[in-house]
Amino acid sequence: MLENARENNVQQIICIGTSHEDSLVAAEFAAAHDNVYWTYGIHPEYATSNNAGIPDGVALMSWRRGVRRLANRGVAREPRGDGSERRAPERDISDRTPSPVAIGEVGLDYHYAGYNRTAQIRLFEQMLQLAVDSDLPVSFHVREAFDDFFPVVGNFPTVRGVVHSFTDSKKTLRRILTETDFYVGVNGLATYSTLPTPPLERILLETDAPFLTPVPFRGIINEPAYVSAVAKWLGTHLGLEYEIIGKETTKNANKLFNLQHAIVRQA
Ligand SMILES: [Zn+2]
């Protein structure tokens, strides 16, 4: 997939964490491959009344100490057949592990019935505080929850980020563009929907696998190489050269995630 991506002009990849354990897998993957970066995040679908046992103090610590402490406490648990849980295999954040380039994806998702609004907001606030303390941007996942999203992020005025896989209304897009400095994630969905398109200077291209494969590759598993198809679609849609789309969105990503300077940082 990495080779396929490079052959299709996708030169830099950010592997997105969606749970504690998953983020550490992303960290290992990034450490083993050139031009692959990672993020640390706990997706709102994992918010529970006790937020998976995340201790209160974690949000107040740097990502490295915070993540280390989470790992040591065995927060990530795997269910067993008998209904009990066992600790997930140990993964450690070593000094050789590159720093994450963002906190995310984190946010609010009220799409599925039975979601716990209070727990999601609490987890989101903890992750936002982690972003502030670590001086990292945020990849936001927001689905049918913008009424809560704006006031919650409003309490963290220094936070930078991207509203990934934007799927909301024109009105909401206008609010993001005028009330915040956030970028907006555009992916394969744009090629087969009627979503509003943000201006180029606010767009980040993204894969969002395994679904949302762009036209003309619908029906197969999405992968980073197909981001080039999104760039081609965007070029046609905005009346701009494909190369301009690639250059500008790469510039946006480098700026937000500071990819040129993403090196191993000591906590
Ligand atoms: Zn998402």
- Which domains, and CATH codes, for the chain? 2-261 (3.20.20.140)
What was the pLDDT predicted at 154? 98
- Nearest CA-CA partner of 142 in 134, 132, 131, 153: 153
Q: What is the mean pLDDT of residues 176-202?
A: 97
- Nearest CA-CA partner of 267 in 67, 59, 27: 67
Half-sphere exposure of residue 71, counting CA atoms within 13 Å on the CB side? Answer: 18
Distance 163 CA to ligand 1 centre (A): 9
Q: Residue 57 pLDDT more than 60?
A: no
Distance 9 CA to ligand 1 centre (A): 24
What was the pLDDT predicted at 81? 57
Distance 72 CA to ligand 1 centre (A): 27
Would you call 205 helix, strand, or coil by DSSP?
A: strand
Residue 40 β-bridge partners = 103
Distance 82 CA to ligand 1 centre (A): 31
Q: What is the mean pLDDT of residues 95-119?
A: 89
254 band by pLDDT with thresholds 50, 70 and 90: very high
What was the pLDDT predicted at 76? 43
- Nearest CA-CA partner of 5 in 205, 161, 259: 205
DSSP string covering 52-88: GG--GGGGGS-HHHHHHHHHHTT--EEE-TTS-EEEP
Tell me the whole-structure pTM to 2 decimals.
0.85
Q: Residue 107 pLDDT more than 50?
A: yes
Q: Under a CB-based contact definition with an 8 Å cutoff, are residues 141 and 106 in contact?
A: yes
pLDDT in tens, 25-46: 898 898 889 999 999 898 998 8
Distance 251 CA to ligand 1 centre (A): 22
- CA atoms of 53 and 47, how far apart (whole Å): 10
Distance 34 CA to ligand 1 centre (A): 24
Distance 213 CA to ligand 1 centre (A): 14
- CA atoms of 126 and 87, how far apart (whole Å): 23
Q: Of the ranges 42-46, 89-93, 113-117, 164-168, which is most confident?
A: 164-168
Share of the chain above pLDDT 90, in %: 63
